[in-house]
Homo-oligomer: A and B are copies of this chain.
Amino acid sequence: MTGGVPTGDELVVMLAALANPLRLRIVARLAGGRDYVSRMARDIGISRPLLHMHLQRLEAAGLIAGSLELSEDGKAMKYYELTDFHLHLTASTVAEAVQTLTRSDPDRGPSSKEQS
């Protein structure tokens, strides 16, 4: 499962990952079971490179996990599945997460965007 309480920075990444209609559809798709990239692209009706980008975004946020496997006929298949993520978003939840938020601090941080 996804580690309990996310930090402010992690929360931003998770929210940004979910704040897209196509990625929400992907999550909903995977809620019905794991699947591999090419098949999802066909079913959803988008190009494979585009799906690949969205999947990476979701995986980086820890919402899905991918594993490269070999099918019976030897093809390399990249399977993705959901993680047990659960986010409770309320005013107090957000206030708590912001305490561990390092980005967009007009005082401390250099400007606005910074990587780890």
Contacts and interface: CB of A to CB of B under 8 A. Distances in A.
Contact of A31 (B22, B30, B31, B95): B95
Interface string A99-115: 00101101100001000
Contacts of A19: 12, 15-16, 18-19
B12 A94 contact: no
Given A15-B15, A31-B92, A46 B87 contact: no
Given A12-B20, A28-B95, 18 more contacts: A9-B21, A11-B24, A12-B19, A15-B18, A16-B19, A18-B19, A18-B89, A18-B94, A20-B104, A21-B101, A25-B98, A27-B95, A31-B94, A31-B95, A82-B91, A84-B91, A87-B88, A89-B89
